[in-house]
């Protein structure tokens, strides 16, 4: 690592800088606790995303002893589901348990991102050290995508945490010449990808950065150690691949590559709306804008040692790689970009200093930082207020209670995955992942992958297989002709429950 070797002068400088950050780190810990408490309070009351239903159901099925891919369709990497299943074993089956731990992951991610800036800003920016740290934390935690999709049962929070941890460990491995930190960085990067493939570019970018900054004689050894770390979290996937190669390949690779866009209509128009949505979001617009200013500022800092600048550049490369990769998903969604937020936040904190210090008195950062902090708080507050009437888990508790009341004992019902989870019921094979109904595969493959097509599902409904049917989608209700089949119905929120003696459609 001779290209960025830390000579005695730089080590001494960093030692001096480090002595000044410990009081500020206490403030950061207090801020992290406050942010974590806010996430937890929101997560156990209002946090709800429809797609977390199949994640929770998958975790419950694993908790019951069933195997993903082999026993049911679950087109996601398995680590987050296994983690949630482990939580159920310790704390009991509840969506709130997963939300609390997701909130802790988010708080930890916020701390890791902000602490990096706390440690890396040079002494000539000491007056702005805490303001920048504060803004990094707020840019990370108060982004509306993070608030809405972070503290839930899906893998966003866990993947964010392990992504930022992998970045911090990689930086530490190069700075301290630590092989243990290097191996751990590979484990963390691969763990993030094992939670969600949205973070797949993380390991390649970290590896490329490592190869560029490693000494010529150590590159292969260090690269091999990093790759070995990356292999560890995918041992469960390899075990599943050995047990069921076709099912595992379908769920992890084939579904994402070929089938997730089935029946999506004009996905290109949808993607364009997603790509331009950041313009309409105040926190995201400011995040991207200040991140660009931050990169420009860092590039001009001739007084910074090379390793310090390289670490900030790595943040930029990670954010850009994740953004470009996620943009290739077809269709993509705004929430997918959540994994890049902490990396942009690190740069945005520095960028805010670069801009503001030229517009106002640089020796008085209180008011500009207070105004920006207030703007971020108000933006996320407005987002929560606008969504105050949205569906929550309380709505699905009512739906589940109604279904349990009107469904005869022992009878089958068809409902969203959330209902099966709340009632502790195992759906009939093929009903574990509702998006799979969009597929129309040969019967042998449907049986192998545990899939029931929409056509087959409609036939089962008309044949009287289900005593009760619930749906929140009008097109599904129409295609199944539910009002013609069931004489009784009730609406709860945006969903409708159908039951009663079966009237055969003519």
Rounded Cα distance, 34 and 189, in Å: 27
Rounded Cα distance, 319 and 442, in Å: 41
Q: What is the pLDDT of residue 259?
A: 77
Q: Is 452 helix (H, G, I), strand (E, B) or coil?
A: coil
Of 55, 40, 32, nearest to 103 by C-alpha is 40
Bridge partners (DSSP) listed for residue 488: 499
DSSP for residue 280:
G
Q: What is the pLDDT of residue 12?
A: 46
Rounded Cα distance, 373 and 138, in Å: 7
Output b/e per residue, 295-316; b: 16+ Cβ within 10 A.
bebbeebeebbebbbbbbbbbb
Q: What is the pLDDT of residue 243?
A: 95
Q: What are phi and psi of 503, to 5 degrees?
A: -100, 115
User: Which pLDDT tens digit goes with each residue over 315-326?
Assistant: 999 999 999 999
SS3 of the chain: helix, strand, coil, percent, to 5 = 70, 5, 25
Rounded Cα distance, 141 and 109, in Å: 9
Beta strands in 319-465 (DSSP E): 413-414
Each residue's pLDDT, cut to its tens digit, for the chain (506 residues) gives 444 444 444 444 544 455 567 788 899 999 999 999 999 999 999 999 999 999 999 999 999 999 999 999 999 999 999 999 999 999 999 999 999 999 999 999 999 999 999 998 887 777 889 999 999 999 999 999 999 999 999 999 999 999 999 999 999 998 888 899 999 999 999 999 999 999 999 999 999 999 988 877 788 899 999 999 999 999 999 999 999 999 999 999 999 887 776 666 666 677 777 777 777 788 889 999 999 999 999 988 877 888 889 999 999 999 999 999 998 877 888 899 999 999 999 999 999 999 998 888 878 888 999 999 999 999 999 988 888 888 899 999 999 999 999 999 989 999 999 999 999 999 999 999 999 988 989 999 999 999 999 999 999 999 999 999 999 888 888 888 899 999 999 999 889 999 988 776 65
Task: Report helix angle 156-176 to 341-359, nearest 10.
Answer: 70
């Amino acid at each position: 690592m001779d290209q960025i070797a830390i000579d005695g002068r730089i080590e001494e400088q960093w030692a001096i800088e480090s002595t000044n950050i410990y009081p500020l780190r206490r403030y950061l810990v207090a801020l992290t606790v406050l942010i974590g408490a806010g996430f937890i309070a929101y997560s156990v009351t209002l946090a709800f995303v429809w797609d977390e239903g199949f994640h929770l159901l998958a975790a419950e099925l694993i908790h019951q002893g069933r195997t993903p891919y082999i026993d049911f369709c679950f087109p996601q990497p398995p680590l987050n589901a296994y983690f949630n299943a482990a939580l159920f074993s310790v704390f009991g089956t509840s969506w709130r348990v997963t939300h609390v731990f997701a909130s802790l992951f988010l708080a930890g991610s916020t701390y890791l991102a902000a602490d990096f800036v706390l440690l890396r800003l040079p002494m000539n920016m000491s007056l702005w050290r805490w303001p920048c740290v504060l803004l990094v934390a707020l840019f990370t935690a108060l982004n509306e995508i993070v608030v809405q999709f972070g503290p839930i049962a899906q893998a966003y929070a866990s993947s964010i945490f392990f992504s930022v941890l992998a970045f911090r460990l990689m930086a530490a491995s190069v700075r301290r010449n630590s092989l243990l930190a290097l191996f751990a960085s590979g484990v963390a990067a691969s763990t993030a990808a094992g939670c969600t493939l949205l973070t797949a570019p993380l390991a390649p970018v970290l590896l490329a950065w490592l190869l560029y900054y490693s000494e010529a004689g150590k590159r292969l050894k260090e690269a091999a150690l990093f790759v070995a770390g990356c292999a560890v979290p995918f041992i469960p996937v390899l075990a599943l691949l050995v047990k069921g190669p076709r099912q595992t390949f379908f769920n992890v690779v084939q579904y994402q590559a070929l089938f997730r866009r089935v029946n999506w209509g004009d996905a290109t128009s949808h993607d364009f709306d997603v790509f331009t949505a950041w313009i309409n979001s105040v926190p995201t617009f400011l995040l991207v804008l200040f991140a660009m200013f931050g990169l420009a500022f860092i590039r001009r800092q001739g007084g910074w040692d090379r390793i310090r600048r390289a670490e900030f550049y790595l943040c930029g490369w990670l954010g850009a790689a994740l953004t470009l990769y996620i943009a290739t998903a077809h269709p993509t969604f705004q929430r997918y970009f959540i994994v890049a937020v902490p990396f942009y936040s690190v740069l945005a904190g520095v960028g805010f200093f670069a801009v503001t210090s030229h517009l106002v008195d640089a020796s008085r950062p209180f008011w500009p930082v207070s105004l920006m902090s207030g703007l971020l708080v108000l933006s996320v507050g407005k987002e929560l207020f606008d969504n105050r009437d949205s569906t929550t888990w309380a709505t699905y508790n009512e739906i589940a209670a109604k279904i349990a009341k009107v469904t005869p004992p022992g009878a089958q019902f068809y409902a969203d995955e959330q209902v099966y989870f709340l009632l502790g019921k195992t759906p009939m094979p093929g009903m574990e992942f509702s998006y799979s109904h969009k597929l129309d595969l040969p019967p042998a493959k449907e049986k192998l992958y545990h899939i029931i097509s929409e056509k087959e599902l409609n036939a089962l409904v008309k044949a009287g297989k289900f005593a009760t049917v619930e749906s929140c989608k009008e097109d599904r209700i129409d295609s199944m002709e539910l009002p013609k089949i069931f004489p009784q119905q009730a609406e709860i929120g945006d969903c409708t429950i159908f039951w009663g003696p079966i009237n055969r459609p003519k």
